[in-house]
Chain A
Amino acid sequence: MTVPSVAERSGLDIDAPPVLSVRGLWKVFGPKAESVVGSSLTRKELKEQTGCVAAVRDVSFEVRRGEVFVVMGLSGSGKSTLVRCLTRLIEPTAGEVLLDGEDVRKADHRRLRELRRHRMAMVFQHFGLLPHRCVLDNVAFGLEIRGVAKQDRYARAREVVALVGLNGFENSYPDQLSGGMQQRVGLARALAADPEVLLFDEPFSALDPLIRREMQNEVIRLHHEVGKTMVFITHDLAEALKLGDRILIMRDGELVQVGTPDQVVGAPADDYVRDFVSDVPRSHVLTLRWIMRPPQSGEPLDGPELGPDVVIRDAVHAVLSADRPVRVTDGGSLLGVVTSAEMLEVIAGGQDR
Chain B
Amino acid sequence: MTAASATTSFAARLPARRYLVALVIAFWAAGWVLLRGRDTLALGGAELTPLHSWLNAAMDAIDDSRNSNPIFLYFINYIRLFLDEAVTFVQALISQPAMDRPLPVLGWLGVVGLATAIALLYGNVRVALLTAAGFLSFGVLGLWQESMDTLALTLTAVALSLAVGVPLGVWAGLSDRFHRLVTPVLDFMQTMPTFVYLAPLTLFFLIGPASATVATMIYAIPPAIRITAHGIRQVSPDTLEAGASLGATSAQALRHVRLPMARQTIIVGVNQTIMAALSMATIAALIDAPGLGQTVLKALQTLDVGTAFNAGLAIVIMAVVLDRVTSAASRRVEAARRAGRLRTVRGRRLEVAGVLGVAAVLGYLSYTYVWAAEFPIEANLGSYVRRAADAVSLWAQDNLVAYTDIVKNLLTNGLLNPFQTVLAGSPWWLVTAVAVAVALLVGSARAALVTAVGLLLVVVLGLWQDSMVTLASTLVATVLVMLLGMVAGVWMGRSDRADMVLRPVLDAGQTMPAFVYLVPILGLFGPTRFTAIIAAVVFAAPVAIKLVAEGIRGVSATTVEAATSAGASTWQLISKVQLPMARSAVTLAASQGLIYVLSMVVVGGLVGAGALGYDVVAGFSQHQLRGKGLAAGIAIVVLGIVLDRVMRAATQRADQAAHGGSHQH
- With an 8 A cutoff between CB atoms, is A17 at the interface? no
- Give the distance to chain A from B290, nearest Cβ to Cβ, in Å: 40
Q: Which residues of chain A have C-beta atoms less than 8 A from B456's C-beta?
A: none
Q: Which residues of chain A have C-beta atoms less than 8 A from B256's C-beta?
A: 130, 141, 144-145
Q: How far is the CA of A118 from the CA of B247 in the complex (A)?
A: 9
Q: How far is the CA of A280 from the CA of B243 in the complex (A)?
A: 38
Binary CB contact string for chain B from 198 to 225 against chain A (1 if under 8 A, 0 otherwise): 0000000000000000000000000000
Q: How far is the CA of A331 from the CA of B341 in the complex (A)?
A: 60
Binary CB contact string for chain B from 226 to 252 against chain A (1 if under 8 A, 0 otherwise): 000000000010111111111111001
What number of B residues sit within 8 Å (CB to CB) of A? 25
- With an 8 A cutoff between CB atoms, is A47 at the interface? yes
- With an 8 A cutoff between CB atoms, is A69 at the interface? no
Q: Which residues of chain B have C-beta atoms less than 8 A from A146's C-beta?
A: 247
Q: Quick check: A122 and B242 within 8 Å, CB to CB?
A: yes
Q: Which residues of chain B have C-beta atoms less than 8 A from A124's C-beta?
A: 238, 241-242, 245
Q: Quick check: A87 and B665 within 8 Å, CB to CB?
A: no
Taking CB as reference atom, which chain A residue is nearest B245?
Answer: A122
Q: How far is the CA of A121 from the CA of B260 in the complex (A)?
A: 23
Q: Which residues of chain B have C-beta atoms less than 8 A from A144's C-beta?
A: 256
User: Total A-B residue pairs with C-beta atoms closer than 8 Å?
Assistant: 83
Taking CB as reference atom, which chain A residue is nearest B341?
Answer: A171
- With an 8 A cutoff between CB atoms, is A129 at the interface? yes
Q: Quick check: B236 and A128 within 8 Å, CB to CB?
A: yes
Q: Quick check: A141 and B245 within 8 Å, CB to CB?
A: no
Q: Quick check: B337 and A173 within 8 Å, CB to CB?
A: yes
Q: Quick check: B261 and A117 within 8 Å, CB to CB?
A: no
Which one, B238, B239, B248, B338, contacts A145 given CB within 8 A?
Answer: B248
Q: Quick check: B2 and A121 within 8 Å, CB to CB?
A: no
Q: Quick check: B241 and A128 within 8 Å, CB to CB?
A: yes
Q: Quick check: A130 and B245 within 8 Å, CB to CB?
A: no
Q: Which residues of chain B have C-beta atoms less than 8 A from A127's C-beta?
A: 238, 242
- With an 8 A cutoff between CB atoms, is B570 at the interface? no
Q: Which residues of chain A have C-beta atoms less than 8 A from B243's C-beta?
A: 128, 141, 145
Which one, A29, A117, A129, contacts B247 given CB within 8 A?
Answer: A117
Q: Quick check: B239 and A173 within 8 Å, CB to CB?
A: no
- With an 8 A cutoff between CB atoms, is B257 at the interface? yes
Q: How far is the CA of A345 from the CA of B344 in the complex (A)?
A: 67
Q: Which residues of chain B have C-beta atoms less than 8 A from A112's C-beta?
A: 247
Q: How far is the CA of A121 from the CA of B338 in the complex (A)?
A: 30
Q: Quick check: A142 and B247 within 8 Å, CB to CB?
A: yes
Q: How far is the CA of A146 from the CA of B260 in the complex (A)?
A: 19
Interface centre among B239, B240, B341, B665 (most CB of A within 10 A): B665
Q: Which residues of chain A have C-beta atoms less than 8 A from B241's C-beta?
A: 89, 124, 128
- Give the distance to chain B from A198, nearest Cβ to Cβ, in Å: 11
Taking CB as reference atom, which chain A residue is nearest B253?
Answer: A145
Q: How far is the CA of A199 from the CA of B242 in the complex (A)?
A: 12
If A128-B236, A129-B239, A131-B261 touch, whether A89 touches B245 (CB-CB below 8 Å) is yes
Q: Which residues of chain A have C-beta atoms less than 8 A from B665's C-beta?
A: 29, 53, 55, 76, 81
- Give the distance to chain A from B248, nearest Cβ to Cβ, in Å: 5
- With an 8 A cutoff between CB atoms, is A105 at the interface? no
- Give the distance to chain A from B260, nearest Cβ to Cβ, in Å: 4
Q: How far is the CA of A112 from the CA of B244 in the complex (A)?
A: 10
Q: How far is the CA of A172 from the CA of B242 in the complex (A)?
A: 20
Q: How far is the CA of A128 from the CA of B647 in the complex (A)?
A: 35
- Give the distance to chain B from A54, nearest Cβ to Cβ, in Å: 10
- With an 8 A cutoff between CB atoms, is A213 at the interface? no
Q: How far is the CA of A81 from the CA of B236 in the complex (A)?
A: 18
- Give the distance to chain B from A9, nearest Cβ to Cβ, in Å: 26
Q: How far is the CA of A328 from the CA of B399 in the complex (A)?
A: 106
Taking CB as reference atom, which chain A residue is nearest B333?
Answer: A132
Q: Quick check: B246 and A142 within 8 Å, CB to CB?
A: yes
By DSSP majority rule, is chain A's interface helix, strand, loop, or mixed?
mixed
Q: How far is the CA of A130 from the CA of B241 in the complex (A)?
A: 11
Q: Which residues of chain A have C-beta atoms less than 8 A from B622's C-beta?
A: none
If A47-B2, A53-B665 touch, whether A145 touches B261 (CB-CB below 8 Å) is no
- With an 8 A cutoff between CB atoms, is A274 at the interface? no
Q: Quick check: A114 and B247 within 8 Å, CB to CB?
A: yes
Q: Which of B632-665 contact A (CB under 8 A)?
A: 664-665
Q: Quick check: A145 and B249 within 8 Å, CB to CB?
A: yes
Taking CB as reference atom, which chain B residue is nearest A87?
Answer: B245
Q: Which residues of chain A have C-beta atoms less than 8 A from B239's C-beta?
A: 128-130
- With an 8 A cutoff between CB atoms, is A189 at the interface? yes
Binary CB contact string for chain A from 112 to 155 against chain B (1 if under 8 A, 0 otherwise): 11111110111011111111110000000110111000000000
Q: Quick check: A193 and B261 within 8 Å, CB to CB?
A: no
Q: Which residues of chain A have C-beta atoms less than 8 A from B248's C-beta?
A: 145
Interface centre among B238, B239, B247, B665 (most CB of A within 10 A): B247
- Give the distance to chain A from B345, nearest Cβ to Cβ, in Å: 12
Q: How far is the CA of A118 from the CA of B245 in the complex (A)?
A: 11
Q: Quick check: B341 and A189 within 8 Å, CB to CB?
A: no
Taking CB as reference atom, which chain A residue is nearest B1?
Answer: A44
Q: Which residues of chain A have C-beta atoms less than 8 A from B261's C-beta?
A: 130-132
Q: How far is the CA of A112 from the CA of B246 in the complex (A)?
A: 10
Q: Which of A137-190 contact B (CB under 8 A)?
A: 141-142, 144-146, 171-173, 176, 186, 189
Binary CB contact string for chain B from 256 to 277 against chain A (1 if under 8 A, 0 otherwise): 1100110100000000000000
- Give the distance to chain B from A232, nearest Cβ to Cβ, in Å: 15
Q: How far is the CA of A144 from the CA of B241 in the complex (A)?
A: 17
Q: Which residues of chain B have C-beta atoms less than 8 A from A89's C-beta?
A: 241, 244-245
Q: How far is the CA of A53 from the CA of B260 in the complex (A)?
A: 35
Q: How far is the CA of A142 from the CA of B249 in the complex (A)?
A: 11
Q: How far is the CA of A240 from the CA of B257 in the complex (A)?
A: 33
Interface centre among A55, A133, A145, A186 (most CB of B within 10 A): A145
Q: Quick check: A117 and B246 within 8 Å, CB to CB?
A: yes
Q: Quick check: B341 and A172 within 8 Å, CB to CB?
A: yes
Q: Quick check: B260 and A129 within 8 Å, CB to CB?
A: no
- Give the distance to chain A from B664, nearest Cβ to Cβ, in Å: 6
If A29-B665, A145-B252 touch, whether A121 touches B246 (CB-CB below 8 Å) is yes
Q: Which residues of chain A have C-beta atoms less than 8 A from B338's C-beta?
A: 173, 176
If A145-B252, A173-B337 touch, whether A132 touches B260 (CB-CB below 8 Å) is yes
Q: How far is the CA of A119 from the CA of B507 in the complex (A)?
A: 55
Q: How far is the CA of A255 from the CA of B236 in the complex (A)?
A: 31
- Give the distance to chain A from B49, nearest Cβ to Cβ, in Å: 47
Q: Quick check: A145 and B337 within 8 Å, CB to CB?
A: no
Q: Quick check: B247 and A173 within 8 Å, CB to CB?
A: no
Q: Which residues of chain A have C-beta atoms less than 8 A from B260's C-beta?
A: 130, 132-133
If A47-B2, A132-B261 touch, whether A121 touches B249 (CB-CB below 8 Å) is no
Q: How far is the CA of A117 from the CA of B244 in the complex (A)?
A: 9
Q: Quick check: A173 and B341 within 8 Å, CB to CB?
A: yes
Q: Quick check: A126 and B244 within 8 Å, CB to CB?
A: no
Q: How far is the CA of A126 from the CA of B236 in the complex (A)?
A: 10
Interface centre among B241, B245, B665 (most CB of A within 10 A): B245
Query: Lowest 7 CB-CB distances: which A-B pairs, in order?
Result: A128-B242, A117-B247, A116-B247, A142-B246, A122-B245, A128-B238, A113-B247
Q: List 19 A-B contacts (CB under 8 A).
A: A76-B665, A112-B247, A113-B247, A116-B244, A116-B246, A122-B242, A124-B238, A124-B242, A124-B245, A128-B242, A128-B243, A131-B261, A133-B260, A141-B246, A145-B246, A145-B256, A171-B341, A172-B341, A176-B338
List B residues at the A interface (Cβ < 8 Å).
Answer: 2, 236, 238-249, 252, 256-257, 260-261, 263, 337-338, 341, 664-665
List A residues at the B interface (Cβ < 8 Å).
Answer: 29, 47, 53, 55, 76, 81, 87, 89, 112-118, 120-122, 124-133, 141-142, 144-146, 171-173, 176, 186, 189, 193, 199
17 A-B pairs besides A29-B665, A115-B247 with CB distance below 8 A are A55-B665, A81-B665, A89-B241, A113-B249, A117-B246, A117-B247, A118-B247, A120-B245, A124-B238, A130-B257, A130-B260, A132-B261, A141-B246, A144-B256, A145-B247, A145-B256, A173-B341
